[in-house]
Amino acid sequence: MRLIFLNPHARAAQADWQSVARAVLASFRLDNTRAGADAAVVPLVEDLRRQSPEFDAMWQEDAMWQENAVPHHSERPKQITHPRFGPIALEYSTFAVDGRPDLGMVVYNPVDPAVSARIGAAIDAA
């Protein structure tokens, strides 16, 4: 949450920061609810609301529909601008960890062989 809302480099890396930030917030709420960590995240939320006007606005907007909506992870590719690889598209999958409601796992993969080859070439050249 801090990375997405407070780090200018993370913001610049996102092709559509607003959509990413909203998805991260929805995911945070979903994971928080699943883990039953409401009280534990209050200091983080209060700090982010003070430091990021965008977070504060999204938090308030999200709270209006939160009780009637179930947030979910988007299935569309994630577009980022990597400092070494340039613009790349990654598909991603999210997984719950059985027996650990406080943990989750996200796996990113290039969307196609061309993106994979660009990443591989940049790694080989390093």
**Quick one: pLDDT at residue 65?**
47
User: Which residues span the domain enclosing 17?
Assistant: 2-125
Note if the pTM is more than 0.75: no
Report d(CA 15, CA 122) in Å as an integer: 20
64 burial level (CB within 10 Å; 0-12, 13-18, 19+): exposed
Domain count, the chain: 1
Q: Residue 98 has what pLDDT?
A: 83
81 φ, ψ (degrees, to nearest 5): -110, 105
Mean pLDDT per block of 10 residues along the chain (126 residues) reads 93 88 84 74 92 92 54 65 83 81 81 87 81
| Tokens found for residue 82 | 């990597």
Quote the pLDDT of residue 50. 96
CATH number at residue 115: 3.30.450.180
Q: Where are the beta strands (DSSP E) in 1-126?
A: 78-82, 86-97, 100-110
Model pLDDT, residue 93 = 80
